[in-house]
Amino acid sequence: SMLRSTHALFEARNGEISRSEFKAFFDALGINDNFAGLRGIGFLRLVKAGDEAAVERAIVHDYGVSDAIYP
C-alpha cells in the first residue's frame, strides 16, 4: 500500500515532486504506526546522457548536495 500510495503521488504530480512535498507525504504516511520496520523510502531521477551538468546544478539548488552523476 505504501508503494502504491507513492506511485499515485508521482502520477498525480506528473513526476514533479519537490523535496518538501515528498517529505510532507512521507511524514503523513505515519511510518512508525503503519509500516513497522520501514526505515525510509526514496526516489531517483533518470538522467539522459549529456544532461548530467544541468541535473547536478538542480540537485545543488534543491538539496544543497554537490555530487557528480555517474553511471
Domain of 35? 1-40
Look at residue 23 and give its three-state secondary structure: helix
pLDDT (tens digit per residue) in 13-70: 998 888 789 889 988 988 888 888 887 787 777 889 999 999 999 889 988 989 888 7
Please tell me whether residues 33 and 51 are part of one structural domain. no
How far is residue 67's CA from residue 63's CA, in Å, rounded to a whole number? 11
Please tell me whether residues 16 and 2 are part of one structural domain. yes
Number of domains in the chain: 2
Please tell me whether residues 34 and 49 are part of one structural domain. no
Look at residue 1 and give its three-state secondary structure: coil
How far is residue 20's CA from residue 27's CA, in Å, rounded to a whole number? 10
Please tell me whether residues 36 and 50 are part of one structural domain. no
Please tell me whether residues 22 and 9 are part of one structural domain. yes
Please tell me whether residues 1 and 34 are part of one structural domain. yes
